[in-house]
């Protein structure tokens, strides 16, 4: 089975994030952003390792300015961790895989 990161749009944001049971990690990014391109593969790896425990999604801020504005995204990459439809924590900037995993564990209680 191939792991696929969910692409978030204004059409599916409510159903895939706000109405989702359990934790959802949303990576707010843009294709022109160097740190976003560094963090993207790390987010995908963690998503693959936590499949079934954590939903991972990406939201292109250029294409989805309404969603980015709703969460006051001022810098990218920005990661927002949602739990049962509520934003529980935010991190801005690229980070190593181990720090990302530790943050997810701290906020959700889920381990890889």
Catalytic residue annotation: 33, 36
| Residue with token string 């961790």 | 81
First to last CA, the chain: 18
């Amino acid at each position: 089975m191939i792991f696929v990161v969910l692409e978030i749009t204004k059409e599916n944001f409510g159903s895939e994030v706000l109405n989702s049971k359990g934790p959802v990690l949303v990576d707010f990014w843009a294709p022109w952003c160097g740190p976003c391109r560094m963090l993207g593969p790390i987010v995908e790896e963690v998503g693959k390792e936590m499949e079934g425990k954590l939903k991972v999604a990406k939201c292109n801020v250029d294409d989805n300015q309404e969603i980015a504005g709703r969460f006051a995204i001022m810098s990218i990459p920005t990661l927002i961790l949602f739990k049962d439809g509520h934003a529980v924590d935010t991190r801005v900037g690229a980070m190593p895989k181990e720090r990302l995993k530790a943050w997810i564990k701290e906020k959700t209680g889920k381990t890889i």
